[in-house]
């Protein structure tokens, strides 16, 4: 993986020109002056701001190809691009992704369902005649899918995902501590002491924010039990999503899932104890992908590099004129 950065952009308010992209823009979030604002061009896994998405893709493609060097500029390299999309994306949303990628400098554009890409990236035998189940917990969406012979047999998706977890953490501190915290503070708390299942010992962390009553900076100490309780309804919602997908799965494939278990992928898979929680709630073995955070990217890359094997799992292709 050459580039691994968040899809976030800092824009100049007057000219709407791109000021910073990716990690640099993330570090500015909540710290910018009035003439700079932060934009997240993707919402729930699909394009919300087309022109900004185009700028982001161009930046990442240039960075991956190292086009800043005159050698690449001289060759004018145009790459093939594969994009993971939510399985419930509409035709209009798919077309927008294709057009944005072409406008960003891609030679060819292919689309793949994110659960399929996650399953491939996790090493599941998606082309074989047996049921493979994957639960991909991203930032904007969570998707549960049962896959067999290169096709998605049953799937369910929900917006109960990583961003919703962050919002729930922020809501907890507002209601229980009268403390306003930033989005990335909430995310850090989730990552560092968040858990779905009790573990030995209670972890604590110091949380800094702004007091909602006095308006002054304040620090409080929170513990892992509090955060787990705050996120409990989200974890239950994810378990219910998996159950819904299994309820529409053919019995033979459901038996395969019972035997082999379900694979967790995406950033949400790294929540401590989530595998144990889901095993308890659903009654099937749950495994965490070796590189859960990068599973979709790795699977998409593998599919693009092995088109003769995975052509069936790709939705469409567009070429630049």
Buried b (16+ CB within 10 A) or exposed e, 247-274: eebeeebbebbbebbbbbbbbbbbbbbb
Beta bridge partners of 158: 142
| pLDDT value for 73 | 46
Q: Which residue ranges of the chain lie beneath pLDDT 50?
A: 68, 70-74
Half-sphere exposure of 287 (CA within 13 A, CB side): 17
Domains by residue range for the chain, with CATH? 9-114+311-319 (3.30.420.40), 163-222 (3.90.640.10)
Name the CA dihedral angle for 152, 280, 137, 249, rounded to a multiple of 10 degrees. 10
Q: What is the pLDDT of residues 276-318, one digit of tens each?
A: 999 999 999 999 999 999 999 999 999 999 999 999 999 866 6
| pLDDT value for 77 | 67
Strands of the 179-180 sheet, one edge to the other: 179-180, 204-211, 217-223
pTM of the model: 0.89
Of the candidates 315, 311, 296, the one whose C-alpha atom is nearest the C-alpha of residue 120 is 296
| pLDDT value for 173 | 98
| pLDDT value for 71 | 47
């Amino acid at each position: 993986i050459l580039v691994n950065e968040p899809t976030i952009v800092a824009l100049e308010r007057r000219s709407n020109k791109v000021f910073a992209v990716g990690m640099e823009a993330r570090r500015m979030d909540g710290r910018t002056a009035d003439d700079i604002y932060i934009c997240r061009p993707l919402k729930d896994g699909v394009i919300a701001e087309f022109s900004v998405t185009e700028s982001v893709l161009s930046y990442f493609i240039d960075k991956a190809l190292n086009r800043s060097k005159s050698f690449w500029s001289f060759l004018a390299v145009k790459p093939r691009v594969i994009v993971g999309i939510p399985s419930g994306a509409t035709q209009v949303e798919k077309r927008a992704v294709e057009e944005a990628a072409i406008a960003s400098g891609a030679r060819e554009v292919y689309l793949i369902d994110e659960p399929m890409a996650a399953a491939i990236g996790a090493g599941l035998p998606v082309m074989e005649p047996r049921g493979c189940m994957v639960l991909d917990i991203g930032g904007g969406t969570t998707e549960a899918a049962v896959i067999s012979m290169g096709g998605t047999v049953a799937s369910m998706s929900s917006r109960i995902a990583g961003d919703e977890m962050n919002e729930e953490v922020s809501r907890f501190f507002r209601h229980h501590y009268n403390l306003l915290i930033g989005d990335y503070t909430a995310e850090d708390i989730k990552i560092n002491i968040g858990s779905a299942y009790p573990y030995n010992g209670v972890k604590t962390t110091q949380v800094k924010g702004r007091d909602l009553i006095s308006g002054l900076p304040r620090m409080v100490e929170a513990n892992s039990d509090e955060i787990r309780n705050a996120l409990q309804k989200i974890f239950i919602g994810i378990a219910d999503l998996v159950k819904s997908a299994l309820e529409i799965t053919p019995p033979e494939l459901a038996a395969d899932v019972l035997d082999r278990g379900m694979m967790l992928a995406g950033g949400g898979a790294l929540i401590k104890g989530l595998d144990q929680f889901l095993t308890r709630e659903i009654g099937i073995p749950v495994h965490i992908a070796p590189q859960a955070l990068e599973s979709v990217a790795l699977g998409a890359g593998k599919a693009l590099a092995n088109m003769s094997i995975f052509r069936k799992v790709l939705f469409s292709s567009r070429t630049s004129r």
